[in-house]
Amino acid sequence: MPGNNCYQAIIARLENISEYMKSIKETFAKWYNRKHDFKGCFWSERFKNTILQNGTALAQCLAYLELNPVRASIATVPEKYRWNSIYARVRGTAISSVLSFSGLYDEKVTPFKKALSYYREYLYACGVRKISGKGSIPADLAEIEKKNGFSIPKERVLMGKVTHFVESCAIGSEDFIDGIYDKISHLGRSITKRKIYDTALSKDVKSMKRFCMIRF
């Protein structure tokens, strides 16, 4: 199916760091130059690209990135920061399907849920250590997770998915959301192009985010 082939091509591009960064940098540079009537290169240097060995080195790098919002006191635990990969993994968001633990755990031997528990245990072990006065994961929260075996209760997954009800201005089928767009399009100027998002609630339940609303 054409749709399947397109999806696979996008996933393959996301998994290639050079192609991924190229698409981001080129798109932003073209937009900025067009908006400000500039020409030439926007970025002074190539992005950082470090080769990581599977196992401990990869785990430590992932944990360092996931714990950035904790150290900055933006979030108490890493999975509460919506731009972290652990946020997507815990809540089963649409993008979580392209995330894996390849390089950390053998997916043929370790099921995803078990790998997620192992990873969260490692993440919390790293996060409770306070470094240079920066934020850390509270010890009491780490202890609660430890007692739960670092597993994800079903109610937490549900609450993560219910986030769509809080952050969306319309939820329903694609036809329903198209109808909402048509009803409000005359009220002002659209901030972005018409977009319909997966909610992770069901493949047939879509979402229209608030930032796609109309600017009055």
Q: In whole angstroms, what is the distance from residue 77 CA to residue 87 CA? A: 10
Q: Is residue 136 part of a domain?
A: yes
Cβ burial, residue 116 (10 Å; 0-12/13-18/19+): buried
* pLDDT at residue 180, rounded to an integer: 77
Give a yes or no: residue 42 inside a domain: no
One-letter identity of residue 205: V
Examine the domain organization and report whether 61 and 135 are in the same domain. Answer: yes
Domain that includes residue 5, residue range:
1-37
Q: Which of 129, 152, 175 is the last residue in one of the domains?
A: 152
Q: 74 and 101 share a domain?
A: yes
Residue 47 domain-assigned (yes or no)? no
30 and 62 in a single domain? The answer is no
Same domain assignment for residues 140 and 167: no
Any domain includes 67:
yes
Cβ-Cβ contacts under 8 Å for 90 (sequence gap 6 or more): 79, 116, 152, 156, 157, 160
Q: What is the mean pLDDT of residues 44-69?
A: 87
According to the per-residue pLDDT averaged within each range, which of 48-57, 111-120, 197-206 is highest? 111-120
- Domain stops at, among 152, 176, 206: 152
Considering the domain architecture, whether residues 193 and 119 belong to the same structural domain is answered as no
Within this chain, do residues 15 and 65 fall inside the same structural domain, yes or no?
A: no
pLDDT in tens, 145-171: 999 899 876 656 555 555 555 556 677
On whether both 140 and 203 belong to a single domain, the answer is no
Same domain, 96 and 128: yes
Verify that 99 and 61 share a domain, yes or no.
yes
Tens digit of each residue's pLDDT (9 = 90 or more) over 180-213:
777 776 665 444 556 776 665 566 777 776 544 4
How many structural domains is the chain composed of?
A: 3
Mean pLDDT of all residues in 76-96? 85
Are residue 105 and residue 147 in the same domain, yes or no?
yes
Tell me the one-letter amino acid at 214.
I
Q: What is the 3-state secondary structure (H, E, C) of 20-83?
A: HHHHHHHHHHHHHHHHHCCCCCCCCCCCCCCCCCCCHHHHHHHHHHHCHHHHCCCCCCHHHCCC
| Residue at which a domain ends, from 123, 152, 181 | 152
pTM: 0.62
43 inside domain: no
Confidence class for position 216, pLDDT limits 50, 70, 90: very low
